[in-house]
Amino acid sequence: MTLRWILGLVLMIASAGFVALMVIAGGFRRSFGASDKGTPFVILSLVCAAVILASLVWPERRVLMHVAAVVMAAFCVGLVFLARDTPSTALLGAIYAAGWFTYYYRVVRAADAAGGLQP
């Protein structure tokens, strides 16, 4: 249960920081005449974060847990590409992903022992 709270709080803080960074960086880039980062990139990132957060809030939903696992797998693939430029940031992401996959394993295993997750 503690892992669930830690993962949720870290995700909410990181998402708030991401939004703040996109707003500040977007204004800074526009001041030099450059274009913003794409709005679809920001929206997709926040939707993925919302799916992960929803899996932490409602762990009994089987489909949601598995969709979140696919999102986290895609996140791990993205970390490989990120590691070329900023290895320390990729390491933090890998630590978060390891924590989330540990949580996922515990939830799925406990649900299998109790008779399965809800559809």
User: For the whole model, what pTM was predicted?
Assistant: 0.80
Q: Residue 90 above 60 pLDDT?
A: yes
Residue 34's pLDDT is what?
58
CA-to-CA separations, 74 to 5, 34, 71, 81, 97, in angstroms, rounded: 23, 29, 5, 11, 11
pLDDT in tens, 43-85: 888 899 999 999 999 988 889 999 999 999 999 999 999 999 9
Q: Residue 25 above 80 pLDDT?
A: no
Q: How confident is the model at residue 2 (pLDDT cuts 50, 70, 90)?
A: confident
User: By C-alpha distance, which of 21, 47, 26 is closest to 38?
Assistant: 26
User: By C-alpha distance, which of 21, 82, 8, 20 is closest to 52?
Assistant: 8
Q: How confident is the model at residue 97 (pLDDT cuts 50, 70, 90)?
A: very high
As to burial, measured by CB atoms within 10 angstroms (0-12 exposed, 13-18 middle, 19+ buried), residue 44 is exposed
Mean pLDDT of 34-50: 78
